[in-house]
Amino acid sequence: MKKHFLLLFIVGLSACHKPNYTSLGAPWEPDYKVDRSENAILKFEKEDAEKMPAPGGIVFTGSSSFTKWQDAAKDLAPLPIINRGFGGSTLPEVIHYADRAVTKYQAKTIVIYCENDMFGKKKKTPEQVRDAYVTLTKKIRDKQPDVLLYGVSLKPSPSRWDKKDEVIRANKLIQDFIRSDKNHKYIDVWPVMLKNGRPDGSIFTSDSLHMNEEGYRRWTQVFKPILQKTA
């Protein structure tokens, strides 16, 4: 009898750590070409041909908040950062290029930041954003089952503050999904980016969307101790 209960406990424990890949929203198809950033990927491939990053590093993938973090490797040194964020990318684009710009590096850790999905011409719900994030992580897991994943919260930006409720909802749904995966963690950047309950304008560039040097200094304060724990 004791062996029977122990077996049920182990099975139940394993089930708690099985990612929940069930979709929450209706299917969504992009109204743009998912290969529109081909030139950026070709640039990465040219750099790799000249010097391929060593396996076991930390890949950053996603949109322009990573792309513009040009000093990420220096700011987070000695962590082995491989920054492969590109342009104003969306999750469908990151999914499209995952084999060429993410899993090929055989990284120990992959950090995902992509915030543009809800801000295109075609409406996309928080549930659909969460589903796209889930699809990306499943594609990564199919190639690298044991890789450590970090999902970064969609940041609060002055230029997009009118959609803050949708952003907060998307972040919560993604965080709930992350909890279902034993080798997946959530990085919340909101606490260091708010002032009096609103985005701190002093850490953004003139477009009120992208961060300046101070913004990335704050991100460094958040990212570095977290990534060092598992480096």
Tell me if 217 is assigned to some domain. yes
Q: Based on the structure, what is the number of domains in the chain?
A: 1
Question: What does the H/E/C string look like for 61-84?
Answer: EECHHHHCCCCHHHHCCCCCEEEE
Percent of the chain past pLDDT 90, that is, above it, reads 89
The 10s digit of each residue's pLDDT in 203-214 is 999 999 999 999
pLDDT higher than threshold 70 for residue 184: yes
DSSP assignment of 126-146 equals HHHHHHHHHHHHHHHHHH-TT
In a domain, 8, yes or no: no
Say how far apart CA 91 and CA 4 lie, in whole Å.
44
Structural domain includes residue 181: yes
> Is 3 within a domain?
no
Spatial separation of the C-alpha atoms in residues 153 and 63, rounded to whole Å:
13
Residue 18 pLDDT: 77
- Residues of the chain with pLDDT > 70: what percent? 93
What's the CATH code of the domain at 114? Answer: 3.40.50.1110
Worst-scoring range by mean pLDDT, 57-61, 130-134, 186-190, 227-231? 227-231
* Helix H or strand E segment including 85: strand 81-85
What was the pLDDT predicted at 2?
A: 47
- List all residues 6 or more positions away from 201 whose beta carbon is below 8 Å from its beta carbon: 158, 195, 208
**pLDDT of the residue at 101:** 98
| Residue 11 belongs to a domain | no
Q: Tens digits of per-residue pLDDT, 96-121?
A: 999 999 999 999 999 999 999 999 99
Q: Apex CA 169: angle with CA 64 and CA 13, to 5°?
A: 100
Q: Contact 93/37 with Cβ under 8 angstroms? A: yes
Q: Determine the average pLDDT of the residues in 204-229.
A: 98
| Per-chain mean pLDDT for the chain | 93
Q: Please answer whether residues 60 and 84 qualify as being in contact, where contact means their C-beta atoms are separated by less than 8 angstroms.
A: yes
Identify whether 123 is part of a domain: yes
On whether residue 114 sits in a domain, the answer given is: yes
Average pLDDT over residues 43-67: 98
Instruction: Output the pTM of the full model.
Output: 0.92
Q: Is the pLDDT of residue 8 over 60?
A: no
Expressed as residue numbers, the domain containing 192 is 33-228
- Asked whether 95 and 137 are in contact (CB, 8 A), the reply is no
Q: Are 163 and 120 in contact (CB under 8 A)?
A: no
What's the pLDDT at 203? Answer: 98
Whether the pLDDT of residue 180 is over 60: the answer is yes
In a domain, 14, yes or no: no
